């Protein structure tokens, strides 16, 4: 190995997670900040944690419920035309009788 080109190795580097867990490992940095670790990651804990800062999840769920409650596309147009035809027939029958 060439001398003077490699970073300094720190055997007691600390990794601090957002959940508060602190791990000590060897690294070239003296301290590292992370958002997830094995103690708080959903894969390891089995718990799902949704961080919804911009209301994206709620907006998606609202759109999803609107789609399921109302028909959309060609089916909705066909149903609307059918309803209009039925009302026209009923109106003609009322006028004729």
Q: What is the mean pLDDT of residues 4-27?
A: 92
Q: What is the pLDDT of residue 29?
A: 93
Q: Which CATH topology does 7-46 take?
A: Rhinovirus 14, subunit 4 (4.10.80)
Residue 28 CB partners (closer than 8 Å, separation 6+): 7, 8, 9, 10, 13
Rg over alpha carbons for the chain, rounded to the nearest Å, is 31
Give mean pLDDT, residues 55-75: 76
Say yes or no to pLDDT of 40 above 80: yes
In the beta sheet, which residues pair with residue 5? Answer: none
Three-state DSSP class for residue 41: coil
Confidence of residue 51 (pLDDT cuts 50, 70, 90): low
Residue 71, pLDDT > 70, answer no
Q: What is the pLDDT of residue 21?
A: 92
pTM above 0.85, yes or no: no
């Amino acid at each position: 190995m060439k001398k003077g080109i490699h970073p300094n190795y720190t055997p007691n580097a600390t990794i601090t997670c957002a959940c508060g867990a602190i791990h000590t490992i060897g690294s070239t940095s003296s301290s590292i900040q992370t958002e997830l670790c094995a103690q708080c990651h959903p894969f390891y804990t089995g718990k799902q944690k949704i961080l919804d800062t911009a209301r994206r999840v709620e907006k998606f769920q609202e759109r999803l419920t609107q789609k399921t409650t109302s028909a959309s596309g060609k089916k909705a147009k066909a149903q609307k035309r059918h309803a209009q035809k039925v009302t026209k027939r009923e109106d003609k029958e009322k006028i004729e009788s």
